[in-house]
Amino acid sequence: MIVVTTPTGQIGRRLLDLLLDTPDGAARKAAGPVRVVVRDPARLAPHARDRVEVFQGSHADPAVLGAACAGADRVFWLVPPDPAAGSVEGHFETFTESLCQVIGEQGVERVVAVSSLGRGVAEDAGQISASLAMDDTIAATGVHYRALCPPFLMENLLGQAESIREHGEFRLAMAEDRVLRTCATGDIAATAARLLLDAAWTGRDDVPLVGPDALTAQGMAEVVSEVLGRPVRARLTSAEDYRAALVSRGASEAWARGLADMTRALDAKDFYGAAAPSTPRTAPTGFRTWCEETLKPAVLG
């Protein structure tokens, strides 16, 4: 049995579709039913609602997660962002403690989680550091564990669709000459689905998901411009300006500071940069393809 957390999110929604409609009938049958943990069941895709068992609540609550995991052997794990959180580390720890408790009580065998590139390199990197610490804590339970490790998510640009449409620009907090490796959330979901439907892997491992492109912010803007058929520029901002903008939009000081620290760490260590090799098997989607299929419809509406 498979338990899926965040089934209405960018990754979880795609993952759920892949698990329910996989052409590998034998693997699907062997994996058993699919359960989801969701705060608002009404947000589940209509075609999925009658095909999954729903547990309403937060997966930070060990009672809710424990009920969902009773009899389950596989879990897809993602800690959702919370811009109102009073502590980045505390936010991740609350969710992680819930999972570790349930692993010990329910005998979950395999966990596939969304983490980040940067292991062994990232220091004082805000949300990235918290994700990597989460991996260590979960793996220490002895559960078979795969950490999915993407760099910058292409879908982060969707939140700026209006700015691209109305002002012809998107903002990034990064140095002008730095390459920013990217990954599409659909590739994360596809990799998670393969792992969740496979009961043969054991132990702990990181699974990098690095797309084929090695673009600077200006390079990304050129691709977006070509796809949209209109000029679009990348406006770069400092880590401190990024922090201030997040706070002005309602984020807590702790959450905004964590993202600013992440930006500084990326500029200093470049672990989302050109040195990260692409991984065609796990992240085949190119930035141009994503812009054509996802960003363009969002911008042009």
Tell me: the pLDDT tens digits for 27-55?
767 778 899 999 999 999 888 888 999 99
**Which CATH number, 3.30.70.3280, 1.10.3720.10, 3.40.50.720, 3.90.1150.10, labels domain 2-150+185-208?**
3.40.50.720
Which residues is 170 bridged to in the sheet? 234
Pairing of the two strands 204-208 and 169-172: unpaired
pLDDT digits (tens, 9 = 90+) for 194-236: 999 999 999 999 999 999 999 999 999 999 999 999 999 999 9
The predicted model scores a pTM of 0.96
Neighbours of 126 (CB within 10 A): 23
Place of tokens 């050109």: 274
pLDDT band at 122 (very low <50, low <70, confident <90, very high): confident
The whole-chain average pLDDT of the chain stands at 95
CB atoms within 10 A of CB 67: 15
Write out pLDDT tens, residues 225-275.
999 999 999 999 999 999 999 999 999 999 999 999 999 999 999 999 989
- Condensed to tens digits (0 to 9), the pLDDT of residues 19-28 reads 998 876 777 6
For residue 172, the SS3 value is strand
pLDDT score for 32: 84
What 3-state DSSP class applies to 238? coil
Q: What six digits make up the tokens of 9? A: 């999110």
Assess whether pLDDT exceeds 90 at residue 172. yes
Range list of H helices, the chain:
10-20, 25-31, 46-49, 62-69, 88-106, 127-139, 161-167, 185-196, 217-228, 239-248, 253-269, 287-290, 296-300
Contact call for residues 175 and 267 (beta carbons, < 8 A): yes
| Average pLDDT for 279-291 | 98
Return the structure tokens found at 136.
């260590």
**Interatomic CA distance for residues 9 and 36, integer angstroms:** 12
Q: Which two tokens stand for residue 162?
A: 């209006």
- Does residue 137 have a pLDDT over 90? yes
Dist CA 276 CA 270 (whole Å) = 9
Higher pLDDT, 189 or 26: 189
Q: Which helix (H) or strand (E) holds 146?
A: strand 144-149
81 secondary structure, DSSP code: P
3-state secondary structure of 77: strand
* 268 and 204 Cβ atoms separated by less than 8 Å: no
For residue 259, give the nearest of 179, 181, 174, 187 by alpha carbon: 174
Please write the tens of the pLDDT for every residue from 81-121: 999 999 999 999 999 999 999 999 988 999 999 999 999 88
Write the burial class of residue 162 (CB in 10 Å: 0-12 exposed, 13-18 middle, 19+ buried): exposed
Q: Where are the domains of the chain?
A: 2-150+185-208
Q: Which one-letter DSSP state was computed for residue 80? A: P
